[in-house]
Amino acid sequence: MKKLISLVAFLLVGGLVFAQEKPEIKWHSFQEATALNEEIPKMLIVDVYTDWCGWCKKMDKETFTDEQVISYLNENFYAVKLDAENNGEKFEFKGQEYTEASMAKAMRVSSYPNFVIIDSAMENITQLPGYRKPEAFINDLKATIERFVDGKE
């Protein structure tokens, strides 16, 4: 009986460990991220993608599920997903009206995936085009912060 109780307790504890949610990137809409930035200034990273983009899907599956990437993005950025072909819902930014597609054009994005980095003053500072593995992605983001924030370029 003791063995059975121990086994049941072990399975319950093990099940609770597996039932805990895995960490995820906190994705925001563009308008949510700009509103959050007004309260607590932080850089934005805008993942400009399309539904048909294979490399975008690979980023979602491999890079954006990496725990170090998740932690780094959540700590240092407001992360935004922007569908470069979505002409649906409109939003306002700096007195202009945009859709996700028109915002991607205004950011001069022409390849996917593309990561637009916007500083806390809401100015585009750089783009990081193309697929990146987790470690390379973090290194590129760190270099961007060092160059544009710490270096005050």
Backbone angles phi, psi at 68, to 5 degrees: -70, -40
The one-letter amino acid code at 151 reads G
Tokens of 67: 């725990």
| Percent of the chain whose predicted confidence (pLDDT) is above 90 | 79
pLDDT tens, 26-65? Answer: 999 999 999 999 999 999 999 999 999 999 999 999 999 9
Give the position of tokens 């072909």. Answer: 85
Asked if 94 and 105 touch (Cβ cutoff 8 Å), the reply is no
- pLDDT value at residue 22: 85
Mean pLDDT for the stretch of residues 79-106: 95
Residue 8 has pLDDT above 50, yes or no: no
Domain 26-150 matching CATH 3.40.30.10: the answer reads yes
Split at pLDDT 50, 70, 90, the class of 150 is low
pLDDT for res 148: 81
116 phi/psi in degrees, rounded to 5: -95, 125
Position 130 pLDDT exceeds 60:
yes
Distance between CA 6 and CA 1 in Å, rounded?
Answer: 9
Question: SS3 for 34?
Answer: helix
Domains of the chain: which residue ranges? Answer: 26-150
Tell me 61's DSSP state.
I
**Percentage above 70 pLDDT, the chain:** 84
pLDDT higher than 50, residue 110: yes
Please give the average per-residue pLDDT across 56-80, as a whole number: 97
Average pLDDT for 121-150: 92
